[in-house]
Chain A
Amino acid sequence: MAEIDLDELIENLLQCRRCGICRNAVYEERGFDGVCPVWKNSPGFETSFMRGRIQVALALLEGVLEKTPENSEALFSCTLCGNCTEICAAEFNPADCLEEVRAVLNDIPNDVRDAIAEKIIQFDNPYEKNRSLKREWIKEVGFEIPTSGEVLYFTGCTAGMKLPTVVISAARILKAANIEFAVLEEEPCCGSVMLRTGKTDEARLNAQRVVSAIQKSGAKKVIVTCAGCLKTLREDFPKLGLEIPEVLHITEILQETAACKKLKLKPVTKRLKVTYHDPCHLSRAMGVYDAPREVIMSIPNIEFVEMETSRETAMCCGAGGGLRSYDPELAKKIAADRVMSAHEVGAEIIATACPFCESNLRLGAEQINSSIRVADIVDLIAERLM
C-alpha cells in the first residue's frame, strides 16, 4: 500500500451519499440478492454495513467520536469482501477506503489485530510457534520437492499448517501436470491479514522479507492456492513498490491443463452436484471467475450448479478482512448462511479455491449440522487423478 494521503482519503469517504444501497439491495438483473453479509447476519444496526462504517470512520478521523476500541468496532466488523464496492454508484471504492482507514487509525487499541501481527512477526505465520510445521506435509506427498527453482509454489500459512490436504493435493496435481516446482525452505507469511487490518508498517517489512525469499529461490513464476496470498502478492506488493515475479492462482494454471485435457481425471461414479463459492480475494479482487469453474467442470460426471449469488455479486464466507479473528461467532454465522445457499440449490459439495474460505465454511456447516462436503477444488481434482 502506498503512503495514505489523509486529505484524499477523507475526500473519498465524503463521496459516500449515505444512500444505503450497500445494505441489502436485491437487484436481480445484476445478480445481487443482498449485499452485506455482516448486516444480514448480525442484529443489523447501521454500523454493520458500509454506510454506517463510513460515518463512523469520518467521525473517528474528525475527532467527533472518541477513538476507543468500542467506537471503532464498525471498522473491524467487516470482511472487506467488496460487495458494497460492487454495487456502490458513487465515485470511490468504499471497501478499499475502509482498509485505509484501519491503517490511518491503527493507534486505536485492538488486541486481536495486534496479537496476529505479533505472531506473524515472531513465527512467520499467524498460527503456530513451530514454523517448521509448515513443511510437515512434504513428508506425505511421496516425492522430493526442491527449495529453489523457476516455479515456486507459495503454500501460504492456512493451507500449510491447517489444511495440509490442500497443499498435498496441489503438489500432486502439479506433478501430474508435469510442472516442476519448488517450495521455500522457510516460507514467510504473505502478511495479508496485516495489510487488511491496518498494520501497514509491519506488513511492509514482512513483504520485503517475502520478496527477498522468493528472489533467492530463483523463481520466475509463483503459484498459490490461497486467494489471500494471491491478492497480496499480485496486487499489494507492487503497490508497496516491490517487484515480484508473475503470481498465478493454481486454478489459473489448471484452467489451461484442464482445457487441454492434460490431466487425466477419473469420472465420479455417481452424478454429483457441485457448487462453487467465489473467494472474494480471488473473484471480486482479482477478477478470476471462470478458471475455477472450468476446472470443476472438467471432472467427468459432475453437475455444476450456481448458488443464488455468484461471481461478482457472491456473498462472502465471512472469514476475510480479519473478521474471523475479530468476531469468530459472526464469521461462523456468515459461513453458515453461505452453506445454506449451497443447500438451497441442492449441492452435495461446496467447492472453493481458498483454504481460508474452506475452513470457515466448514465451521459454518458444522454450526447448522450440515452434511454438505466443503472442499477445495484441488482436493476434488487430486482425488480424480488417474
Chain B
Amino acid sequence: MAIDKKIAKEFENAVGAEYVSTRPDVLLTYSQTASMAVEPVIPSAVIRPANAKEVSQILKLANKHRIPVTPRSGGSSLQGEAIPKPGGIVVDLLRLGGITLYENLRSVTVGAGVTYGELDKFLAKHGLFLPVYPESSLVCTVAGNVAVNGAGVGSSLYGCTGEMVLGLEVVLPDGTIIQTGSEANPNSPGPFIRYAFGPDLTGLFIGSLGSFGIITKVSVKTFKRMKYFDYNMYGFDTVELAEQFLIEIKQNDINGLFTSIYSGEVLDLFMDMLSEELGFPPFEHAERTVSMTIGRVREDMLESDAKLAREICERLGGRVLNVREMPQQEWEGRFWNFVRASYIHGWHWRTLYHHQTPTNSHKSVDIIMDAMDKYRFLGHTAGFQSGHSSMNLYPHLYFDPQDKDEEEKVVKAHQEIAKALFKSGAVPFKLAEFWKDAIEDMDEYMDFLKHIKNSIDPNNIMNPGVLGGI
C-alpha cells in the first residue's frame, strides 16, 4: 500500500515532489531486483535523493515515522539484499554522482550513484584503474558493491572490494552524517589511509547490506592501469594438483590478476555455450583447468611471472595449454562476457556467492554437483582467487522461470547447500538472508552483531532482517 499522503508530503518537501513516487507502476518496479526466485515486496514509496543532506532528511523522517528503509543503488544484487520490506520505503541512490580524483594520494572519491563503468572510463583517462571489477560493473555502483563486500575480476590479485576502501561518508539511521578514514579529519587533503582515529569504522559498513546506514560517498584506492598481460591456461589431472598450483602462484607473488579454476564438466558447458560467440578454439582440457591473466605495469616483470607460472605448472605435473583466448576474454571482456555467459543459456538462476580456501574449493564444487544430481537441476559452479588465500565460488542453479515447482525446488536446494557449504568451512562474504539458517554455532558473533545494530539503529529501520536475519 502506498504511504500515507501526509508522510509522502514530508518526503517531497525533503527532496522535491518529482523525486518521490507512490504510483502503483513505479512501486511495482522496485519490488524486485536482479535476485531471482525471491518473493517481490511492494514498497510504500520510492524516494530519489540528490545528496547526503537529503538522505539525512529522509532517514530522520523514516525514524520519526518508524518506516523501514531499503537503500538501493543498481538493484543488481542477487541474494535478495535490496528487496523492500512491507510498508517500507526504497531510497534510490543513483542521483548521488560525482567523481573526485586525488592523483597524488592514489585515491578517488565517488558518489553513491557512480557505477564501475563510469569510474573506469574516468580513471582510464588518467592511466589508472580501480582493479576489482564485479561482473556486473556496467550496472552496479561502487557503493552498492561496498555494501555487499563484493569481489570480481581483479580480486585474484587485489582482494575483495572492501580491501580497496579508504573511507566512507555515511548517513546513520538517525540522519547524522559521518566520515570515516583519513577524511574524518576535516583538514585532511583527501583519502589516504583507512585505519585512522581508532577502530576501523569503515569496516563496519562494508558488507553491512545497508542495515547500518546509507553510504553516500566512497573513497577507494587507485592503481596504475596495467598494460602488459600474459594469458594462459594450465591443465591438471587431479584437483589436488590444481589447488596446489593456485597456492604456489600466490606464494611466489605471481601477479595473477584473474585466476579462475574450472572443472571439466563446467568448462565443457561454457565452451558449448560461448566458444563460437567469443572465438575460443577447441582445446583439450583436464580434470581441473586454471585460466589465468597475469598483469603487470612493466614488461620485464610480466615475462618473469609468466615464465615462473609455466615452470610451476610443469613441475607439478600439469600441462601448459598455451590457450590464450579464454583468459583474454575474461579480462578484456570483463564488463560484458560474464553477464553474457550468465544469460546465454536462457535459464534463470540463483546463486550463493562464498569464499573457500584454495584447498577446500573442490568441496564447494562437490556440494553443488551433489545437489544438482539430487534435485536434477542444471547449473554450474566455478571459482576464482579472491585475495590473499581465498577463492570466490559462484554456484548457479538453473530453473525455468515459468515452472513454479522447479523454482521452489531451487530455493529448497539452496537452503541445503548453504548449510553444507557452511559446514565445509565456506564463508559468505555478505551475510545475506539466504545464509541465515545455515549459520550454526556463531551465537556470540551474531549477538554482538545484533548489539551493534541495536545501538546504531534502535528502531531497526535500516533494511531490517537483511543481515543474517537481524
Q: Is B one of A's binding partners?
A: yes
CA distance A46 to B43 in the complex (A): 13
B28, B36, B346 interface centre (most CB from chain A within 10 Å): B28
Q: For window 377-412 of chain B, which residues contact chain A by CB distance below 8 Å?
A: 401-402
B1, chain A: closest CB distance, angstroms: 15
CA distance A32 to B335 in the complex (A): 12
Q: Is B301 an interface residue (CB 8 A)?
A: no
CB <8 Å contact, A29 and B29: no
**Size range of the interface on A?**
35 or more
CB <8 Å contact, B136 and A27: no
Q: For window 127-185 of chain A, which residues contact chain B by CB distance below 8 Å?
A: none
CB <8 Å contact, B32 and A74: no
Q: Is A201 an interface residue (CB 8 A)?
A: no
B90, chain A: closest CB distance, angstroms: 9
Which of B118-126, B194-202, B355-363, B365-373 participates in binding chain A? B118-126
CB <8 Å contact, B29 and A20: no
A18-B402 contact in complex given A44-B94, A90-B343, C-beta closer than 8 Å: no
Least CB separation from B18: chain A residue? A43
CB <8 Å contact, A20 and B74: yes
Q: Is A30 an interface residue (CB 8 A)?
A: yes
A51-B29 contact in complex given A23-B139, A26-B121, A70-B23, C-beta closer than 8 Å: yes
CB <8 Å contact, B336 and A15: no
CA distance A28 to B116 in the complex (A): 11
CB <8 Å contact, A27 and B28: no
Which of A15, A27, A46 is close to B335, meaning CB atoms less than 8 Å apart?
A27
A26-B138 contact in complex given A45-B48, A89-B340, C-beta closer than 8 Å: yes
Q: Which A residues lie within 8 Å of B75 (CB)?
A: 18, 20, 46, 51
CB <8 Å contact, A28 and B76: no
A26-B117 contact in complex given A18-B75, A71-B25, C-beta closer than 8 Å: yes
Q: Which B residues lie within 8 Å of A23 (CB)?
A: 74, 139
Which of B25, B46, B120, B346 is close to A74, meaning CB atoms less than 8 Å apart?
B25
A21, A44, A89 interface centre (most CB from chain B within 10 Å): A21
Q: Which A residues lie within 8 Å of B139 (CB)?
A: 19-21, 23, 25
A135, chain B: closest CB distance, angstroms: 44
Q: Which A residues lie within 8 Å of B117 (CB)?
A: 25-28, 32
A45-B21 contact in complex given A65-B28, A91-B344, C-beta closer than 8 Å: yes
CA distance A52 to B23 in the complex (A): 13
Least CB separation from B335: chain A residue? A27
Q: Is B24 an interface residue (CB 8 A)?
A: yes
B21, B25, B94, B340 interface centre (most CB from chain A within 10 Å): B25
Q: Per-residue 0/1 for B312-354: is the Cβ within 8 Å of any A Cβ (1 yes, 0 no)?
A: 0000000000000000000010011001101110101000000
CA distance A43 to B346 in the complex (A): 32
Q: Which B residues lie within 8 Å of A11 (CB)?
A: 402
CB <8 Å contact, A19 and B339: yes
Q: For window 1-39 of chain A, which residues contact chain B by CB distance below 8 Å?
A: 10-11, 14-15, 17-21, 23-30, 32-33
Which of B33, B92, B336 is close to A30, meaning CB atoms less than 8 Å apart?
B336
Given contacts A15-B343, A27-B138, A65-B24, could you give 12 more A-B pairs where the C-beta distance is less than 8 Å? A14-B401, A17-B34, A17-B36, A20-B139, A21-B339, A26-B138, A28-B124, A44-B48, A51-B75, A56-B28, A59-B28, A65-B28
27 contacts between A and B (CB under 8 A): A10-B402, A15-B346, A18-B32, A19-B76, A20-B74, A20-B76, A25-B115, A25-B117, A25-B139, A27-B138, A30-B336, A33-B121, A43-B18, A43-B21, A44-B48, A44-B92, A45-B21, A46-B92, A47-B25, A56-B25, A56-B29, A65-B25, A70-B25, A71-B24, A73-B25, A87-B138, A89-B344
